[in-house]
Amino acid sequence: MKKLNKSMIIVALLFSMGANATPLYTKCAACHGEKGEKVSLGKSLIIKDMDKDAFIAALKGYKEGTYGREMKAMMKAQVMMFSDEQMKEIANYIVKK
Ligand code: HEC
């Protein structure tokens, strides 16, 4: 019974995370800034100034190992769990053009 309750809470959490773009971006904010306005670790582009296609292509590229520079392994760890839909959701949240 205890086990069942725990898994129900996890399912509810997962649902609430998918409902809105902001939670997907939460773990990115420490490095890229609340709105994607920072140069992360002195290395990244300012991601809010990328265009949407380039932003999504970069995330996909990190996931597939076809994009990135010296710190790409770290970004791969950030995005490997994301689906195309989720990448699009983050792009819509961060990129304004
Ligand atoms: C621990 C710090 C850190 C976290 C957390 C992090 N990033 Fe990054 N991000 C970087 C660094 C450093 C780079 C440059 C990597 C390289 O060498 O290619 C980068 C690159 C990028 C780029 C490509 C821009 C460029 O410079 O070519 C995008 C887009 C991006 N990150 C989005 C995200 C998103 C979305 C998340 C959250 C899911 C995230 N990042 C989480 C540090 C981070």
Averaged confidence pLDDT in the chain: 87
Q: Which atom of ligand 1 is nearest to the CA of 45?
A: 26
Rounded Cα gap, residues 76 and 22, in angstroms = 20
Ligand 1 centroid distance, CA of 10 (Å): 27
Rounded Cα gap, residues 97 and 75, in angstroms = 23
Of the listed ranges 8-12, 51-55, 83-87, the least confidently predicted one is 8-12
20: pLDDT strictly greater than 70: no
For residues 32 and 11, the model is more confident at: 32
Given a contact cutoff of 8 angstroms between Cβ atoms, the answer to whether 11 and 69 are in contact is no
Ligand 1 centroid distance, CA of 19 (Å): 23
Rounded Cα gap, residues 49 and 65, in angstroms = 23
Rounded Cα gap, residues 6 and 3, in angstroms = 5
Q: Which atom of ligand 1 is nearest to the CA of 62?
A: 18
Q: What is the pLDDT of residue 19?
A: 42
pLDDT average, residue stretch 51-68: 98
**pLDDT-above-70 percentage for the chain:** 77
